[in-house]
């Protein structure tokens, strides 16, 4: 995926991170005029057995949950052979970023 690519009404703005199974991008949602996060399956996991079912299961599981500390799922699909989940975009960096800055006491850990 590259900056500027359009997936339906989402325009990819920037690559913001990579986790164990996916890359995460910020994107502009032209339909609702907001920034969102787009999670795409990592290239090296595309060879894993049935990544479509894995992503569908993740999207449906997250979408079924309602909690202030769980990002809501806005959309799910496939674009040019890549699976994606669209979620709320949250600024502030990752927990790893925060831990690199300083060690945290139990009370300081974001919940």
**21-39 residue pLDDT tens:** 788 999 999 999 999 999 9
Specify the pLDDT at position 75.
Answer: 92
Can you say whether residue 61 is alpha, beta or left, with left for phi > 0 and alpha for psi between -120 and 50 degrees?
A: alpha
Residues (pLDDT < 50) of the chain are none
pLDDT at residue number 33 = 96
pLDDT at 48: 54
How far apart are the C-alpha atoms of 104 and 20, rounded to whole Å?
23
What per-residue confidence (pLDDT) applies to 5? 93
The pLDDT of residue 35 is: 96
Query: What does the H/E/C string look like for 22-46?
Result: EEEEEEEECCCCEEEEEEEECHHHC
**Residue whose structure tokens are 């990579």:** 18
User: What is the residue extent of each domain of the chain?
Assistant: 6-108
pLDDT, residue 76, reads 87
- Token pair, residue 64, equals 């079924």
pTM: 0.74
In CATH, the number for domain 6-108 is: 3.30.200.20
3-state SS, one letter per residue, for 52-102? HHHHHHHHHHHHHCCCCCCCCEEEEEEECCEEEEEEECCCCCCHHHHHHHC
Indicate the average pLDDT of the chain: 81
Query: 82-88 and 73-79 as β-strands: parallel, antiparallel, unpaired?
Result: antiparallel
């Amino acid at each position: 995926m590259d900056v500027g690519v359009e997936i339906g009404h989402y325009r990819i703005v920037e690559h913001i991170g990579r986790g164990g199974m996916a890359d995460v991008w910020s994107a502009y949602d032209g339909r609702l005029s907001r920034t969102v996060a787009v999670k795409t399956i990592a290239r090296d996991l595309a060879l894993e057995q049935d990544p479509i079912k894995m992503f569908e299961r993740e999207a449906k599981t997250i979408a079924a949950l309602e909690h202030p500390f769980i990002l809501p799922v806005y959309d799910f699909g496939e674009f040019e052979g890549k699976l994606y989940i669209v979620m709320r975009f949250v600024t502030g960096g990752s927990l790893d970023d925060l831990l690199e800055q300083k060690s945290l006491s139990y009370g300081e850990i974001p919940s």
